[in-house]
């Protein structure tokens, strides 16, 4: 279950129309072909990439992976437009336009198991509890990353309460370069299932689920391109390792993302409110597969930032 959506530090005012980028021009800068394939759909593509947009929608697919932009695809006569924030901070990083970041002597990864102590988080019908499963997954990620020599820390190593402020502060105090908050989901719709990965919305945009448009730059917005890229690699690897339903890379102003001092994402590893998914999440080998996806995503992100990184 995702933590409470708090916006105390980033409350703002309604923002006017954001700067827009015309997709034909964007395609020209990134060696892509641009083509309207219907009155409602627009595609960017080359030999290795296929990006499909829907008019009026924030949802799009990147090589069949589901993502949500900050703003919708817009049409103005024959022009197809997206926000500059989405062009620069979501699409460009995935198309090899690397944002600069200095890992120093090596990246420090902060893993944040959700909830703890009296805050149990979500509970399944068969008594699977989020706070325990998130900690187990985090410890598995830690073991896998440390086996590669990477520096990894946990915001909690046992069943105890940790305030939201303290989680971001822990990352800052320990020089975090990557922050991953690990959660399990729940919904009144017991049919809902699959994996979601969250990154911070850009300034001037609402969360994927809607709500207030915030026109204040949060600390985590300093890493917008990295947030998107980290979410992309982790989400992709989690889906490959679990074969779970793809519910998309989404946008939300969770406090741990807003106040993060480094690139940060929040992963929802599955729905405890769904009977079949709870059964999977209750099994150690499946949680280890989730952890493997998170670990591989982090390693791929770090590798991508090196000169010899492969294409996404």
DSSP 230-282: HHHHHHHHHHHHH---EEEEEE---HHHHT-SS-EEEEEEEETTSHHHHHHHT
Q: What is the pLDDT of residue 2?
A: 43
DSSP, collapsed to helix, strand or coil, labels residue 206 as: coil
Q: What is the pLDDT of residue 16?
A: 37
Q: What is the pLDDT of residue 164?
A: 96
DSSP, collapsed to helix, strand or coil, labels residue 87 as: helix
Give φ, ψ of 145 to 5 degrees: -75, -40
d(CA 239, CA 130): 20
Contact 181, 118 (CB under 8 A): no
pLDDT, one tens digit per residue, over 30-75 is 999 999 999 999 999 999 999 999 999 999 999 999 999 999 999 9
Instruction: Output the average pLDDT for the chain.
Output: 92
d(CA 26, CA 32): 8
Q: Which residues contact 3 (CB under 8 A, 6 or more apart)?
A: 114, 115, 164, 183, 254, 255, 256
Tell me the percentage of the chain whose pLDDT exceeds 70: 92
d(CA 160, CA 295): 24
Annotated domain spans of the chain = 20-94, 108-304
Asked if the 108-304 domain carries CATH number 3.40.630.40, the reply is yes
Of the ranges 150-154, 178-182, 248-252, 308-312, which one carries the lowest mean pLDDT score?
308-312
Q: What is the pLDDT of residue 307?
A: 53
Q: Which residues contact 285 (CB under 8 A, 6 or more apart)?
A: none
Q: Are strands 151-154 and 33-36 parallel, antiparallel or unpaired?
A: unpaired
Among residues 197, 177, 176, 175, which one has the least CA distance to residue 185?
197
Mean pLDDT, rounded, for 89-105: 87
Among residues 240, 252, 220, 245, which one has the least CA distance to residue 297?
240
Q: What is the pLDDT of residue 105?
A: 83
Sign (positive or negative) of CA dihedral 224, 297, 65, 246: negative
Mean pLDDT, rounded, for 99-105: 83
Q: Is the model's pLDDT at 9 over the cut of 80?
A: no
pLDDT, one tens digit per residue, over 227-278 is 999 999 999 999 999 999 999 999 999 999 999 999 999 999 999 999 999 9
Contact 83, 21 (CB under 8 A): yes
pTM for this entry: 0.93
Contact 267, 183 (CB under 8 A): yes
Relative orientation angle of helices 284-304 and 224-242, to the nearest 10 degrees: 140
Q: What is the pLDDT of residue 103?
A: 87
pLDDT, one tens digit per residue, over 157-209 is 999 999 999 999 999 999 999 999 999 999 999 999 999 999 999 999 999 99
d(CA 229, CA 62): 12
- The CATH homologous superfamily of the domain defined by 20-94: Copper amine oxidase-like, N-terminal domain (3.30.457.10)
Q: pLDDT class for 310, splitting at 50, 70, 90?
A: very low
Q: Is the model's pLDDT at 281 over the cut of 70?
A: yes
Length of the chain, in residues:
312
Of the ranges 14-23, 119-128, 292-301, which one carries the lowest mean pLDDT score?
14-23
């Amino acid at each position: 279950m995702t933590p409470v959506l708090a916006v105390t530090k980033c409350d703002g005012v309604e923002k006017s129309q954001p700067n827009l980028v015309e997709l034909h021009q964007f395609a020209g800068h990134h060696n892509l072909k641009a083509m309207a394939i219907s009155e409602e759909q627009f595609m960017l593509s080359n030999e290795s990439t296929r990006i499909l947009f829907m008019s009026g929608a924030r949802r799009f697919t990147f090589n069949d992976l589901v993502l949500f932009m900050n703003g919708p695809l817009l049409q103005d006569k024959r022009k197809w437009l997206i926000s500059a924030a989405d062009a620069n901070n979501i699409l460009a990083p995935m198309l090899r336009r690397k944002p600069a970041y200095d890992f120093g002597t090596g990246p420090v990864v902060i893993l944040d198991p959700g909830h703890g102590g009296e805050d149990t988080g979500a509970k399944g019908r068969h008594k699977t509890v989020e706070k325990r499963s998130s900690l187990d997954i985090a410890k598995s990620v830690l073991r896998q990353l440390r086996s590669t020599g990477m520096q990894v820390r946990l915001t909690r190593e046992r069943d105890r309460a940790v305030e939201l402020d303290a989680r971001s502060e822990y990352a800052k105090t320990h020089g975090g370069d990557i922050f991953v908050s690990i959660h399990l989901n729940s919904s009144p719709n017991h049919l809902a299932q699959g994996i979601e990965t969250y990154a911070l919305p850009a300034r001037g945009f609402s969360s994927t689920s809607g709500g207030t448009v915030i026109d204040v730059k949060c600390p985590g917005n300093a890493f917008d391109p990295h947030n998107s890229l980290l979410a992309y690699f982790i989400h992709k690897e989690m889906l490959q390792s679990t074969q779970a339903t793809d519910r998309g890379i989404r946008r939300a102003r969770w406090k741990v993302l807003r106040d993060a001092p480094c690139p940060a994402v929040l992963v929802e590893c599955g729905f405890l409110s769904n009977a079949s998914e709870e059964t999977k999440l209750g099994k150690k080998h499946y949680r280890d597969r989730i952890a493997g996806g998170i670990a591989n995503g982090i390693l791929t992100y770090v590798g991508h930032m090196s000169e010899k990184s492969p294409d996404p």
